A and B are shown apart, each in its own frame.
Chain A
Amino acid sequence: MVRFTKATTAWLLLTPMMTIIIGVVGYPLIKTVYYSFTAAHLASPATTDRWVGFKNYIKALGNSKFLDSIENTAYFVSVSVSAEIIIGVLVALLLNQAFKGRTLLRALLILPLALPTVVNAMMWRLIYGPDFGALNALLTQVGLLAEYQSWLGDPDLALWMVAIADIWKNFPLVALITLAALQTISKDLIEAATLDGANTWQRFWTVVFPAIVAPVSVALVLRTIEAFKVFDIIYVMTRGGPANSTKTVSFHVYQEAFAYMRIGSGASYALIVVLISALLIATYLWLIKKQGNTT
């Protein structure tokens, strides 16, 4: 029987994975870089050879609609991720207390997480409905609202309403991650701190906070990377409207390439998005590497 060296075996076992990564990720990425320097058009294959240099990039960085979509995305990411982190940590602190029904609540946290993203978007779109939506009905019936609002039709409100739908779906993830970290804190440590005269606030900063800060920061970066890619929830709820107020970068690239069929400039937009994502991903890798070294 043939015996391979350790290194050969290792590479052989990795070959199928590398083939898939190169084929479905590596090759397309390089091709996107190539497209971004051409005037490629979806409807005419011959245009993929029409070299235009940095023209697409110069146009992209001067395109106010694209810059607006970056701003919208940044706005969406900061609102939803910060709310998800704050609510998630608070919920984890609550579920770390002993009370009746805790197990049930913990199980309920899975519901938004497992609900398909498109169903979540559709559900909130119905709830926000301007004519017969439940939110309007609830707020007018309890007297908080005088007349029905078009929540997703108002350019000043729409992005916030989309963010709420995203927050509802994703704060449970932060809560579960934080809860797992909280449960690693030994009861003795908390009791010792209490015997030393620490009040709740001091106990939080000296015992609880150091235990959760690493996993919560990983969750923060992870959610930022995900939120930055946001597309499906926008597509179903607003299609980027009203007045482009909810148009995010992914949606912008989608329109440029598939509605206007301009692949070349679409690719240059996409690569600017990749550049921003790469910075976030590098932060994430640095964080987990640092954490892997300390634990």
Chain B
Amino acid sequence: MIKRSKIQTAIVYSSAILLGLVLLCPVLWLFIMSVSSTKDLTTLPLSWIPADISFNNYISLIGDFDSTSAESFLYALRNSLIVAISATVLSLSVAIPAAYSLSRLPGKRRSSLLFIAIATFMMPPVALVLPLYSAMASLGLLNTHIALIAVYCGVLVPFTTWLLKSNFDAIPIDLDEAPLIDGANRLQIIWYITLPIAKPALGAAALMAVLMAWDEFFYALLFTNDIRAKTLPVAIADFAAGRVADYGLISAAGILATIPPVSMAYFLQKSLVSGLMSGSVKG
């Protein structure tokens, strides 16, 4: 074992404390703002601990159904949930057979599809947004969930296909042989053999997909215009751009929008890390 000198230990611990503060303080301050009164936040010099703590901002966002801020926030929450979950489920059901095919039934022309898929989800959205906008407009789909779900699938399908393909590659191909001889078809093999083994990878792919859909802003900003379809990022950008700068209310909306993705990410920490890894280490 390599022993550290006292100075090295001191450096390690002081950098660790610094890192902890850097990671935690901005979010902690966001939380403090969310429970402070506007008066406390607009007094100089700024006091770091508010004189009175109240959860009124949270109540006016999710408790008081008559307020306009609650209306826009709760609808946005609903829209975000519908869009993120539908896009994820749809993408996975398309990506699973595709990933299986690329992993188990390789072919020269098909393998270039994988690279097309990777290039696809990295494409800047500005390259696609204009035709997509006019197409959605002529189909009458602007300001609907369907428009966002369809567009998000364009990113999530290639992304999850790629993620799952590299994970399916790690499952021994022999497992498919016996049922094939017994007359099972490929869909049955995917359902009964591959998916049960690939559960952790499936979890990672689903988590990444939900986080990406939850976070998306560009298309959501352009394709939605009222509470029927606006998602949380758009609603929060609206709050932040509002004429009345209600710092506490904006912060509370931010904290509430953060709770679902952060708790999911913590709960599935291992999946998240493995999802990020396979995206960066393997092709």
Q: Point out the residue from A13, A97, A122, A277 that lies within 8 Å of B105, measured CB to CB.
A: A13
Q: Given contacts A119-B258, A126-B250, A292-B283, is CB(A94)–CB(B130) below 8 Å? A: no
Q: Point out the residue from A25, A27, A122, A141 that lies within 8 Å of B123, measured CB to CB.
A: A25
Of all chain A residues, the one with the shortest Cβ separation from B27 is A111
What is the 8 Å Cβ interface bit string for chain B, positions 17-35, against chain A (1 contact, 0 not)?
A: 0011011101101100100
Contact A267 B130 (CB under 8 A): yes
- For B24, what are the chain A residues with a Cβ–Cβ distance below 8 Å? 108, 111
Q: How large is the interface on A (under 10, 10 to 19, 20 to 34, 35 or more residues)?
A: 35 or more
B51 touches A (CB below 8 Å): no
Stretch at the interface among B52-60, B64-72, B197-205, B232-240: B232-240
Task: Sample 30 A-B pairs with CB under 8 A, ordered by A number.
Answer: A13-B98, A17-B158, A21-B158, A25-B154, A28-B135, A32-B128, A32-B130, A91-B19, A97-B4, A99-B9, A105-B19, A108-B24, A110-B262, A111-B23, A114-B211, A116-B233, A116-B258, A118-B257, A119-B257, A124-B26, A127-B29, A129-B247, A131-B42, A173-B276, A180-B277, A218-B281, A232-B233, A235-B221, A250-B124, A267-B130
- For A222, what are the chain B residues with a Cβ–Cβ distance below 8 Å? 279-280
Q: Given contacts A16-B94, A125-B240, is CB(A21)–CB(B116) below 8 Å? A: yes
Q: Point out the residue from A29, A94, A292 that lies within 8 Å of B16, measured CB to CB.
A: A94
CA distance A253 to B124 in the complex (A): 11
CA distance A127 to B126 in the complex (A): 30
B191 touches A (CB below 8 Å): no
CA distance A266 to B130 in the complex (A): 8
Please give 5 more A-B residue pairs, beta carbons under 8 A apart, in addition to A14-B102, A191-B2. Answer: A13-B97, A14-B101, A127-B29, A132-B46, A231-B217
What is the 8 Å Cβ interface bit string for chain B, positions 78-108, against chain A (1 contact, 0 not)?
A: 0000000000000000110110111001010
Of all chain A residues, the one with the shortest Cβ separation from B183 is A1
A81 touches B (CB below 8 Å): no
Q: Point out the residue from A218, A228, A236 that lies within 8 Å of B280, measured CB to CB.
A: A218
Contact B218 A7 (CB under 8 A): no
B75 touches A (CB below 8 Å): no
Within 8 A of B (CB), among A1-58: 1, 6-7, 9-11, 13-14, 16-18, 20-21, 23-25, 27-29, 31-32, 35, 45
- For B126, what are the chain A residues with a Cβ–Cβ distance below 8 Å? 229, 249-250, 253-254, 269-270, 273-274
Contact B261 A18 (CB under 8 A): no
Contact B15 A94 (CB under 8 A): yes
What is the 8 Å Cβ interface bit string for chain A, positions 142-167, against chain B (1 contact, 0 not)?
A: 00000000000000000000000000
- Chain B nearest CB from A283 CB (Å) reads 11
B132 touches A (CB below 8 Å): yes
A285 touches B (CB below 8 Å): yes
B192 touches A (CB below 8 Å): no
What is the 8 Å Cβ interface bit string for chain B, positions 143-172, against chain A (1 contact, 0 not)?
A: 000000011011001100100000000000
Of all chain A residues, the one with the shortest Cβ separation from B110 is A10
Total B residues in contact with A, Cβ cutoff 8 Å: 96
Using CB atoms and an 8 Å cutoff, list the residues of chain B in contact with chain A: 2, 4, 9, 12-13, 15-16, 19-20, 22-24, 26-27, 29-30, 33, 41-42, 44-46, 48, 94-95, 97-98, 100-102, 105, 107, 110, 113, 115-120, 122-132, 134-135, 150-151, 153-154, 157-158, 161, 183, 186, 211, 214-215, 217-218, 221-222, 232-233, 236-237, 239-240, 247, 250-251, 254, 257-258, 261-262, 264-266, 269, 272-273, 276-277, 279-283
Contact B282 A288 (CB under 8 A): yes
B110, B123, B132, B221: which has the most chain A beta carbons within 10 Å?
A: B123
A263 touches B (CB below 8 Å): yes
Contact A116 B214 (CB under 8 A): yes
Q: Given contacts A13-B97, A13-B100, is CB(A132)–CB(B250) below 8 Å? A: no
